């Protein structure tokens, strides 16, 4: 039976979403879970996947339309129900290229998302070979990685959709902008700070946004400010602080797989502490405390326009290497504006680490409806008493911010104490 494609609620207090780009055309055959449309909210851009297999029909929202949450924007119909005129329409024009899997001049198809990625990376999609004859998103990404590994990274350029739109508005040649995103990807902030000499000579500079001209803030920052104000003014915050010896944590990281960060280690330890103290993985919702079974840990990630909190789901079941891979993937998606709905839902606890910025300690604001957030400061040498004698020890300050409606001081202290013990002796994880 037909399945509706609705404008999803991706964030707290979200009322609308903007259709940025349809990745499939009306009449196209789609598979369940295949990205079909790109949606932008105040904070992120995500790809919405098809809820069922069938044919895309009855598209009511055009690119650029702002649609209320919950409204149907398209229908995935059974293939037999599609009109003949649209059912036979190709989802994308075939690409003709040279010998492919031994068949000279064989035509291949490419998904709209694959074409978009190839364009962003400056890749000739006709050079990508696949066994099926159809180029998908994963094929383009694999080709890009191989090309970079072969030393061709200089000619492969990636840019976020927002960066490309901003570059077009301002007459900036995006290929000449130095990117600060994952793999050198160009972000909107890179375009905003680009020097005049990268502008196209023939382009007429676009007018600066009113917020920038007046020194104001953009929509994303404004929404973030409103939500943090709401949390601060409605949730009765209290803070618990522990200074912990980070010697074993440092030693553990040196023995961990390549790419593992202190944040990854803390995700592992926080997950273990939440297993032992389930009362800390709760939310305050509709006047009651809600207990969560899964341990889904959010990570506060700074992006060019504000702050997002992607989630590492079921962190207690993952190895360190799996946590690191998942964290790296989520951060890359966040910074390139490609987070998926599943990436930002389900968090029960958040970690905010500012240690890499040289911050000793800070108080974080609770990320509602969660009950607690852990603020992590830097590891720094301090003089502390050891067996009655002064000694220089690497120490780290952990600050637990709690919503007193859902988590009281005693339970918060028990959780923080368990976490501090695990930081002091990570081998306790094996017990």
Q: Is 89 exposed, middle or buried (0-12, 13-18, 19+ CB in 10 A)?
A: middle
* Pairing assessment for the beta strands 306-308 and 301-303 based on DSSP bridges: antiparallel
CA-CA distance, 263 to 248, in Å (whole number)?
A: 15
CB count within 10 Å of CB 431 equals 5
Strand, coil or helix: what is 190?
Answer: helix
- Residue 216 contacts residue 210 (beta carbons within 8 Å): yes
Nearest 5°: CA angle at 174, between 173 and 175? 90
Sheet holding 389-403, edge to edge: 237-245, 389-403, 372-386, 349-353, 297-299, 311-312
Retrieve residue 11's tokens.
């964030």
CA-CA distance, 284 to 60, in Å (whole number)?
A: 37
Q: Among this protein's residues, is 404 annotated catalytic?
A: yes
| Active-site entry in 277, 292, 313, 404 | 404
CA-CA distance, 46 to 37, in Å (whole number)?
A: 8
Active-site residue list: 404
């Amino acid at each position: 039976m037909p399945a509706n494609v609705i404008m999803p609620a991706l964030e707290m207090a979200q009322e609308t979403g903007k259709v940025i780009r349809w990745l499939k055309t009306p009449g196209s055959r789609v598979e369940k879970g295949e990205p079909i449309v790109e949606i932008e909210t105040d904070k992120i851009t995500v790809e919405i996947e098809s809820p069922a297999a069938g044919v895309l029909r009855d598209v009511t929202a055009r690119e650029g339309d702002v649609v209320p949450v919950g409204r149907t924007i398209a229908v995935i119909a059974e293939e037999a129900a599609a009109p003949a005129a649209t059912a036979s329409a190709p989802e994308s024009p075939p690409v003709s290229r040279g010998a492919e899997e031994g068949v000279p001049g064989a035509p291949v198809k490419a998904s709209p998302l694959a074409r978009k990625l190839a364009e962003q990376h400056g890749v000739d999609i006709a050079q990508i070979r696949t066994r099926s004859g159809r180029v998908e998103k994963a094929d383009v990404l694999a080709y890009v990685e191989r090309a970079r590994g072969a030393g061709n990274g200089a000619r492969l350029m990636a840019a976020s959709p927002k960066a490309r739109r901003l570059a077009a508005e301002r007459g900036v040649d995006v290929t000449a902008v130095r990117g600060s995103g994952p793999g050198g990807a160009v972000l909107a902030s890179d375009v905003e700070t680009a020097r005049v000499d990268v502008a196209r000579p023939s382009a007429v500079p676009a007018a600066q946004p009113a917020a920038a001209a007046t020194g104001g803030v953009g929509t994303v920052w404004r929404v973030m400010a409103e939500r943090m104000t709401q949390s601060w003014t409605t949730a009765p915050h209290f803070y618990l602080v522990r200074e912990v010896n980070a010697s074993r944590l440092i030693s553990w990281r040196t023995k961990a797989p390549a790419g593992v960060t202190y944040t990854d280690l803390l995700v592992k330890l926080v997950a273990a502490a939440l297993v032992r103290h389930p009362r800390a993985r709760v939310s305050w919702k509709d006047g009651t405390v809600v207990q969560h079974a899964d341990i889904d840990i959010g990570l506060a990630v700074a992006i060019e326009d504000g702050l997002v909190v992607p989630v590492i789901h079921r962190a207690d079941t993952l190895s360190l290497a799996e946590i690191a891979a998942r964290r790296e993937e989520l951060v890359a998606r966040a910074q390139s504006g490609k987070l998926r709905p599943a990436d930002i839902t389900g968090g029960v606890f958040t970690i905010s680490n500012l240690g890499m910025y040289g911050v000793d300690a800070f108080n974080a604001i609770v990320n509602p409806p969660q009950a607690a957030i852990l603020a992590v400061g830097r590891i720094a040498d301090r003089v502390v008493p050891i067996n009655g004698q002064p000694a220089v020890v690497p120490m780290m300050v952990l600050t637990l911010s709690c919503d007193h409606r859902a988590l009281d001081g005693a339970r918060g202290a028990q959780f923080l104490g368990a976490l501090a013990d695990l930081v002091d002796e990570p081998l306790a994880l094996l017990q």
